[in-house]
Chain A
């Protein structure tokens, strides 16, 4: 039975400490629209919206990145264009469509 007190993966992982000026950037995760701020890395955009970036290929687990400096390669995510990007070294762009749960259209 699932633990009723468990924190769901849908809850955000990252939390903004200081409000930053800058344009709001709309992007989507699995078709749902989210807001990010100009200058956000894709990992920031995704993890301020939810708790994981991708499913782990070799087991029942999710991953949310690890090193944030482009070294560990834990944060590769798939875009609806079929392109794969490293979320900690890629800036979020307006209209970016991240696919986590679904399959490519």
Chain B
């Protein structure tokens, strides 16, 4: 046993990035600690139903069933060579110490090296009626199907601004849900223009086209260029109103809506760890600075997967392995010696191709600015604290809130239970629009621990 092999290497996040990282480290003879909030591995995209609610993998993961099975099998293949610690919320990082809340209460781990693979969530934007019971994210509609075998409503309208929309429509129809509308708030034109670039990842493109064709054949084609979406309902969702690309208004009765507008990286732990951030103009979000090698600005912290740059599950796997190989090289000794340089080259090539595909995909689904412009003053932006767009605009205009943390201090927007995870992006858009400044100039919410609610009584003891 060498000193390098005794290093405490922690991975936070047991999705595709974290699992591939864990597998790579275990293969090299390390015993990584793999932490995740969920009881079972897989992350969100390869999420496994709770024990007792299992179903056939093919019906859960479709074309990705083999990839899902391979990743879910990691723990079985490696046994205790991966120290899996489920049901643990990593709620703070200070220097080399991670604070956890698990089934037995509070714990701390001190790491030598850390890989952050914290994943992403749906990007939410406010629209009239979005806080009514029955409005969920697209991701939520998908989780309801996959993890629980339920539809989010009897008559479901799905709204999106990215490739998740055709997939969730496809999965919903396949599962037998009644999808009454499938609306894309981005125009159709850019998808034609981006076609050449999308061919960089032909297998992924073919799957996307298959979902699109299948949805159309089942009578629920996706309508592009939708604007002015509005939910109606007294106490819960009762109808959806929207305007099509030709300017005609439509209204359809429904009792549930799954809506989101792309994805958003979960960056809080990287922020608490002190990683440097850079503004990403495509994601319209500040992201931890991640080198192609998976390095952050901190020599002992590595980044992988959607938590540091949206790339999807396949890219997450590649970046997980890539970051783990960099880490092994950095540990040196006999572990560093055995780093397979050929493998590194192949990964970097695959990642370069995927970057080209991603650029085309982002161009195919441009950010829906019209949703932001349409946010009325009385609309709630911060769901936790009930702060309206009008309050934010007034603080920007009359109270000198020129930057996100100042805006938070003055209005409580982003101060609630979700810590700005849901409203932070929308609030930055509103602030930038009100001030007439680029979104990069309004800054970003500083992360505070705990990143999610924890029982304060226990924290004090």
Measured CB to CB, the residues of A under 8 A from B are: 2-3, 6-9, 13-18, 20, 22-23, 37-41, 44, 48, 51-53, 56-59, 61-74, 76, 86, 89, 91
Which residue on chain A has the smallest CB distance to residue B59? Answer: A18
Instruction: Encode B164-207 as 1/0 by CB contact (under 8 A) with A.
Output: 00000000000111000000000000000000000000000000
Q: Is B37 in contact with chain A by the CB < 8 A criterion?
A: yes
B62 interfacial contact with A, CB 8 Å: no
Q: Which of A7, A37, A61 contacts B255 (CB 8 A)?
A: A7
B37 and A6: CB pair below 8 A? no
Least distance between B77 CB and chain A CB atoms (Å)? 25
**CA A38 to CA B234, docked complex, whole Å:** 33
- Give Cα distance in the complex from A66 to B136, angstroms: 4
Q: Is the CB of A6 within 8 A of B51?
A: no
Cβ contacts under 8 Å, A59 to chain B: 386
User: Given the known A-B contacts A68-B139, A68-B143, A69-B44, are A13 and B134 also in contact in the complex, defined by CB atoms under 8 Å?
Assistant: yes
Is B149 touching A20 in the complex (CB atoms < 8 A)?
A: yes
Residues of B within 8 A of A (CB): 37-38, 44, 49-55, 121-122, 124, 131-137, 139-140, 143-145, 147-154, 175-177, 233-238, 255-256, 266, 383-386, 416-418, 421-422, 452-453
Which residues of chain A are within 8 angstroms of B52 by Cβ–Cβ distance? 22-23, 37-39
Query: Is B234 a contact of A13 with CB atoms below 8 Å?
Result: no
Report how far A9 CA is from B233 CA in the complex, Å: 11
Q: Is the CB of A69 within 8 A of B383?
A: no
- Contacting pair B417 A76 (CB below 8 A): yes
CA distance A15 to B255 in the complex (A): 11
In the A-B complex, the 6 residue pairs with the smallest Cβ-Cβ separation, listed nearest first, are A39-B53, A39-B52, A64-B133, A58-B386, A73-B417, A68-B140
Q: Is the CB of B145 within 8 A of A65?
A: no
A17–B145 Cα gap in the complex (Å)? Answer: 8
Q: Is the CB of B150 within 8 A of A65?
A: no
Listed residue (A6, A23, A68) with the most chain B CB atoms within 10 angstroms of its CB: A68
Chain A nearest Cβ from B258, distance in angstroms:
10
Hey, which chain A residues are within 8 Å of B152, CB to CB? Answer: 13-14
Contact B177 A63 (CB under 8 A): no
Q: A7-B236, A67-B137, A69-B139 are in contact. Are A17 and B383 (CB under 8 A)?
A: no
Beta-carbon contact of B383 and A66 below 8 Å: yes
Question: In the assembly, what is the distance between CA of A26 and CA of B151, in Å?
Answer: 21
Instruction: Report Cα–Cα, A33/B7, bound state, in Å.
Output: 52
Q: Which one of B121, B140, B176, B238 has the highest number of Cβ atoms from chain A below 10 Å of its Cβ?
A: B140
- Residues of chain B within 8 A (CB-CB) of A61 are 131-132, 235
Determine how close the nearest CB of chain A comes to the CB of B254; give it in whole angstroms.
10
Of B51, B177, B418, the residue contacting A72 (CB under 8 A) is: B418
Residue in B144, B266, B453 whose CB lies within 8 Å of A68: B144
Residue contact B422 to A62, C-beta cutoff 8 Å: no
Taking a contact as CB atoms under 8 Å apart, the answer to whether B234 and A3 are in contact is: yes
Q: Which B residues lie within 8 Å of A48 (CB)?
A: 150
Central interface residue in B37, B134, B176, by most chain A CB within 10 Å: B134
Distance from B203 Cβ to chain A, minimum over Cβ atoms (Å)? 26
B121 — which chain A residues lie within 8 A by C-beta?
67, 69, 71-72
Given contacts A51-B133, A68-B140, A71-B422, contact A18 B55 (CB under 8 A): yes
In whole angstroms, what is the CA distance A16 to B175 when docked? 10
Residue of B nearest to A64 (CB): B133
> Could you list 12 further interchain pairs (A-B, Cβ under 8 angstroms) beyond the known A14-B150, A72-B121?
A9-B235, A13-B256, A14-B144, A15-B151, A17-B177, A41-B148, A58-B385, A66-B137, A69-B121, A72-B418, A74-B418, A91-B50
